[in-house]
Structure 1
Amino acid sequence: MKLKILVLFAAWTLIGCKREPKISSADWTSISGRLQYREADQKLELKSGNFTYSIDENKFPFKKIVLLNASMAGYITELGAENAIAGVSSPEYIYSEKIQQLVQQGKIQDVGNEQKYNVEKILALKPDAILTNYIASFDNTYQLLKNNGIQVIFLDEYLEQQPLEKAAYLKLFGKLLGKIEEAEKKYQEIEQNYKSLKKEAAGTKEKPVVLANEMYGDVWYLPGGRTSSARFITDAHANYILQNNTDEKAVTMSFEEVYAKAGSVQYWVNAGNHVSKKEMLSINPLYSRLNVFNNGKIYVITGRERQKANDFFESGVVRADVVLKDYIKIFHPSLFPGYRLTYMKELP
């Protein structure tokens, strides 16, 4: 389970986002530089990364979909549209209780995992669409599904580095699932909360220094200065040690390089899913040399974890406001009296 979470978190910070030019037409709904859509000539025209789609309006709302990525479940549950899911891959990594209940009841089918999808089962479900991140090694599988008349839509929300743009994918899910008004209302709530929280944090006097992520082997993968992780830290009114970096992907450093920058660090966040400092040291004794390890506070992302599933990578993808509130509460503990962290947890 730990390996799975570490890989997910590494992917979340390792992969950068190359921005596509935005479409300027006023009738397009622009989610980000990567995602735009509009209704034209009784079709939904969609541009997602390098892929474009033109889907007949009479296909909507989708009543039966297959999800091949657990992160997309967060958008579905936020809209209360779990009953539209006919199949999921690797259901053991999905946190949603409602989805898990539907899996147990046989109403949602397990269609394989990222090593091998069960194409026969997917075809038997006859879904209106499959929603997935694009993985080049599965091109043959995607083509087989398309050849059998199944709409395959690639949505690479994990590449987005602006928290609110990632949350705004909710609008597209609302369109696909016939919950446009609900999606717009939910997104406006998230956006307003986020901006209000950011403003409140900016009014605090303290601006602590922050370290993020951890080592894998001999390399420390720190979020680049323009990744979503770095933006959360900055918006929570803290100084990230690489805040002046301009990368939208992870920056690799040796322990010594991090050590040289981390002398004044007060908080260490996103430190994997460890259960104690003792366990961290058993994996990497070098951590004991860090001042923040001995005198600061360390936070892991296991506040909502159940067996192999971690809600940080699910509802946390959508609820940027709640993630930001966690960070603000960590860096400015006097704010929000009585608030308990949602996705984060202090390491004992």
Structure 2
Amino acid sequence: MKSRIFLILAICALISCKRESKISSSQWISVSEYVQYNETGEALKLKSGNFTYDFKKNQIPFKKVILLNASMAGYISELGAEDLIIGVSSPEYIFSEKIQGKIKRGSIQNVGNEQKYDVEKIISLKPDAIFTNHIASFDNTYQLLKNNGIQVIFLDEYKEQKPLEKTAYLKLFGKLFGIDKKAEAEYTEIEKNYNELRKLALKAKEKPLVLANEMYGDVWYLPGGKTSVANYISDANAQYILNNNTEEKAVPMSFEEVFSKAKSVKYWVNAGNHISKKEMLNMNPFYGKLNVFNKGYVYGIGGREKEKANDFFESGIVRADWVLKDYIKIFHPELLPDYQLTYMKEVK
């Protein structure tokens, strides 16, 4: 009896080993923490967060796509693949001049916004794929689109906390659009620039203390110590006010808590897109109590804006090297004497 039990266990172990070999992680190519793909002769499998996709070779490369997030436009613009876009949501938030031109000429259609997508128009456009962040409240809409044969691909790049891993989504778009080599070349160039800038930052003599973000109502949502903002500050050779924190999400604090930690802060970054300190005080008089507000330097993300569109949330998602260069210029201006800020702007 025991021998039979051992035999059954051995067979089960062998079966499980065989199954594991079929889905071995070594077969998957990692793009970032949240995205992997596995390519065979007949198919391309994609893992994005909790979602898995199987594309047959005759389904890719995609020729017609719809974007439901402005950040997705940043990747496609970087690859020069704007002609593949046939629809976008909330076009007023897209910064790209080329995409805006296509919207005005009608070659890119407005398919609604995050309050309500125009499902009938989306279906009539017959896209090969839709790219979007996953919003649970839209699950019924996503299912309706899928029922009509439309591929809905969820890419939550905003969850990526390492700047270059956000950039690495270029590789994924390159794979899905059939421009792998171009995407790899673009990523390699940005990665090279980023690493050279990080080395340059180490030459700075000071390592200033930095505060980030701003208050909403009575709460200051500081980036956690493992967020992309914190990583940028660290790579720019500065000290973030929550550098010992281990959160990958925002850390809510009261003004009093921030005030007690911010006495020696020299730079305040990502302070919204305010046009002046006077405007900031009108919104929140408490800011006037901060030493950094009165004696330090305050920078917002208003360097590249057009009405509602802000390129920091578009090309800035992709061009990690340009964002890092801005931070280095702010914290260590002597290292980049001739450089003009791209996304950041001093609030005076």
Q: Normalized against structure 1, the TM-score is what?
A: 0.92
**Cα distance per residue 1:156-200 (max 9 Å; x no partner):** 101111101111001000111111111000000111111110111
For 1:62, the equivalent position in structure 2 comes to 62
Alignment partners' CA distance in 2, 1:129 and 1:145:
10
State yes or no: 1:160 paired with 2:182. no
**Cα distance per residue 1:31-56 (max 9 Å; x no partner):** 12211002124111000000001111
Alignment partners' CA distance in 2, 1:102 and 1:177:
19
Give the letter aligned to residue 142 of structure 2: Y
State yes or no: 1:311 paired with 2:311. yes
Structure 2 unaligned segments of length 5 or more: list them.
Answer: 1-22
**Cα distance per residue 1:231-281 (max 9 Å; x no partner):** 000110001000000000001111111000001000000000111000100
- 1:292 deviates by 0.4
Q: How does 1:1-348 map to 2 (within 5 A)?
A: 25-348=25-348
- 1:26 deviates by 3.7
Alignment partners' CA distance in 2, 1:195 and 1:171:
18
Give the letter aligned to residue 127 of structure 2: P
Give the letter aligned to residue 72 of structure 1: M
Give the letter aligned to residue 74 of structure 1: G
Give the letter aligned to residue 220 of structure 2: W
Give the superposed CA RMSD: 0.9
Alignment partners' CA distance in 2, 1:26 and 1:217:
47
Count of aligned pairs between the two proteins: 326
Alignment partners' CA distance in 2, 1:254 and 1:171:
40
Q: Normalized against structure 2, the TM-score is what?
A: 0.92
Give the letter aligned to residue 312 of structure 1: F
Indicate conservation of the 8 Å contact 2:33/2:165, yes or no. no
Alignment partners' CA distance in 1, 2:231 and 2:25:
29
Alignment partners' CA distance in 1, 2:63 and 2:108:
13
Alignment partners' CA distance in 2, 1:88 and 1:334:
42
Alignment partners' CA distance in 1, 2:40 and 2:139:
29
Alignment partners' CA distance in 2, 1:187 and 1:33:
16
Alignment partners' CA distance in 2, 1:269 and 1:299:
5
Question: What percent identity do the matched residue pairs reach?
Answer: 71
Which has the larger displacement, 39-48 or 271-280?
39-48
Which has the larger displacement, 33-42 or 335-344?
33-42
- 1:24 deviates by 6.0
Alignment partners' CA distance in 1, 2:133 and 2:179:
22
**Cα distance per residue 1:102-158 (max 9 Å; x no partner):** 000000000000000000000010000011111111111111111111111111101
Structure 1 unaligned segments of length 5 or more: list them.
Answer: 1-22
Alignment partners' CA distance in 2, 1:311 and 1:196:
23
Give the letter aligned to residue 57 of structure 2: E
**Deviant stretches of 4+, over 6 Å:** none
Taking structure 1 as reference, are residues 288 and 73 closer, same or farther at Cα in structure 2, changes over 3 Å only? same
Q: SS of 1:334's equivalent? A: helix
**Cα distance per residue 1:300-336 (max 9 Å; x no partner):** 0010000010000000000001000000000001012
Alignment partners' CA distance in 1, 2:24 and 2:72:
27
Give the letter aligned to residue 85 of structure 2: I
Alignment partners' CA distance in 2, 1:130 and 1:254:
40
Alignment partners' CA distance in 2, 1:57 and 1:195:
35
